[in-house]
Amino acid sequence: GDSVTQMEGPVTLSEEAFLTINCTYTATGYPSLFWYVQYPGEGLQLLLKATKADDKGSNKGFEATYRKETTSFHLEKGSVQVSDSAVYFCALSPLGSNTGKLIFGQGTTLQVKP
């Protein structure tokens, strides 16, 4: 079945460091791909998405490119801030499904220190 694998955390970085959180997926065809973020005490929020191969999603300085050849959707940010500390979830929505259910990875906790 479809699945998402994320790099294990926690990831601890200093402010202004470069961030990469790896995400790979297994799916039939070309699903839509998402990054959701959960800040402390809040619900999940959509960070960015890509709906077809080679698309790049971007938001708040974060980017991720849909790579079909490597079945990956790695999240990157050039310079993290303390306010980026959160849990990041990679997810996919299966193509051709009769439902919009999301399949999530296990989440990666990011802690940014001043």
In the complex, the residues that contact other proteins under the rule CB under 8 A are 4, 31-32, 36, 41-46, 49, 51, 89, 91, 93-107
What minimum distance in Å lies between the beta carbon of 2 and other proteins? 11
Distance CA 72, CA 38 (A): 21
List the structure tokens of 113.
């220190």
Task: Kindly tell me which of 43 and 114 has the beta carbon lying closer to other proteins.
Answer: 43
Task: Kindly tell me which of 36 and 73 has the beta carbon lying closer to other proteins.
Answer: 36
Task: Kindly tell me which of 18 and 39 has the beta carbon lying closer to other proteins.
Answer: 39
Long-range contacts of 53-58 (CB under 8 A, 24+ apart): 57/33
Task: Kindly tell me which of 14 and 106 has the beta carbon lying closer to other proteins.
Answer: 106
3-state secondary structure of 9: coil
Distance CA 24, CA 71 (A): 6
Give Cβ neighbours of residue 54 (< 8 Å, ≥ 6 apart): 65, 66, 67, 68
What minimum distance in Å lies between the beta carbon of 64 and other proteins? 15
What minimum distance in Å lies between the beta carbon of 12 and other proteins? 17
